[in-house]
């Protein structure tokens, strides 16, 4: 739905497909699965009768489509009619929390953290130090520009941009990725300021050389025990990244594949790593229990 509303899928492709399936729910699994496979490979989809962009990544690598009945398709269709272009990515964490069994939620510590609380940590530990570095780099660049050393000024700003795009942030218990998403948003905002400064310095050639150098999800690393939360975290980062892309670049399609499999979110324990579990057994080979 998000992909359709930002123009990564043909207009109304998914909505029209859902409307055609209301009276044929048995076809939901094969047809939606066919669309997802076409999105993964970047090929023609018979289900929506259109050539699709290559999404790749891993979100559509092994599509598993849940069967839906007519009422469930109607609910999905109602959601698809909404505009998902500016959806708040953090809501997916809230949905996961509500879907978890209370005991499972307590065991995992899966609780949605409001943005204001997230920023209490993100701003002083990540954003403010980077902004201080940017303030110094920008001041040095302006001094150089004032002395007529325009090339050196441009290099100063480009150097900071490269540094910004090399920053790595790790959340060892990332949940559905809200901390990482908020961090990404602030990094992209700072990146925009740096690029604007390059424009003001007339650095058109430098901008061409920096194509492909950008703040993106590969810089946001996470570990999470819950496999569903880990998948949602990766999706949240990509939605946030693509939202920023379309806000700043209009309807320019991002480089293909649309999604990259950076392996930046891992479903694992942040403290213990093991290859397998071996149970203690008694003399009969039966696992010992309490």
Cβ–Cβ < 8 Å for 198, 187: no
At residue 107, the pLDDT reads 57
At residue 93, the pLDDT reads 73
Instruction: Select from 161, 33, 176 the least CA-distant residue to 118.
Output: 176
At residue 183, the pLDDT reads 97
At residue 60, the pLDDT reads 85
Bridge-based pairing of strands 265-267 and 220-224 is parallel
Q: What is the mean pLDDT of the chain?
A: 89
Structure-block tokens of residue 283: 């003399």
Give me the phi and psi of 44, to 5 degrees please: -70, 135
- pTM, rounded to two decimals: 0.86
CA distance 86 to 5: 9
Instruction: Select from 44, 11, 43, 35 the least CA-distant residue to 256.
Output: 43
Per-residue pLDDT of the chain in tens (290 residues, 90 and over written 9) = 999 999 999 999 999 999 999 999 999 999 999 999 999 999 999 999 999 999 987 788 888 899 999 999 999 999 999 999 999 887 887 777 776 667 666 555 556 677 888 999 999 999 999 999 999 999 999 999 999 999 999 999 999 999 999 999 999 999 889 999 999 999 999 999 999 999 999 886 655 555 668 899 999 999 998 888 898 899 999 999 999 999 988 888 998 999 999 999 999 888 877 777 788 888 888 888 76
At residue 3, the pLDDT reads 94
């Amino acid at each position: 739905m998000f992909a359709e509303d930002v123009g990564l899928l043909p207009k109304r492709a998914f909505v029209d497909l859902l409307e055609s399936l209301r009276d044929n729910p048995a076809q939901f699994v094969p047809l939606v699965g066919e669309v997802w496979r076409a999105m993964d490979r970047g090929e023609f989809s018979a289900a929506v009768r259109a050539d699709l962009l290559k999404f790749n990544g891993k979100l559509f690598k092994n599509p598993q489509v849940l069967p839906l009945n007519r009422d469930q398709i109607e609910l999905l269709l109602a959601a698809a009619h909404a505009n998902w272009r500016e959806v708040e990515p953090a809501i997916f964490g809230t949905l996961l929390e509500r879907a978890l069994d209370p005991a499972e939620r307590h065991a995992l510590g899966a609780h949605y953290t409001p943005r204001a609380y997230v920023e209490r940590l993100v701003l002083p530990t990540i954003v403010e130090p980077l902004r201080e570095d940017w303030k110094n780099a920008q001041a040095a660049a302006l001094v150089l520009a004032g002395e007529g050393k325009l090339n050196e000024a441009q290099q100063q700003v480009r150097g900071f941009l490269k540094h910004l795009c090399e920053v790595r942030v790790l959340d060892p218990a990332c949940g559905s990725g809200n901390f990482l998403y908020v961090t990404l948003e602030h990094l992209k905002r700072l990146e925009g300021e740096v690029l604007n400064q390059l424009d003001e310095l007339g650095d058109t050639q430098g901008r061409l050389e920096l194509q492909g150098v950008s703040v993106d999800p590969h810089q946001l690393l996470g570990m999470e025990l819950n496999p569903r939360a880990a998948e949602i975290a990766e999706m949240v980062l990509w939605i946030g990244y693509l939202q920023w892309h379309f806000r700043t670049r209009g309807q320019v399609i991002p480089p293909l594949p649309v999604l990259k499999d950076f392996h930046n979110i891992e479903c694992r324990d942040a403290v213990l790593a093991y290859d397998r579990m071996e149970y203690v057994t008694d003399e009969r080979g039966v696992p010992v229990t309490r």
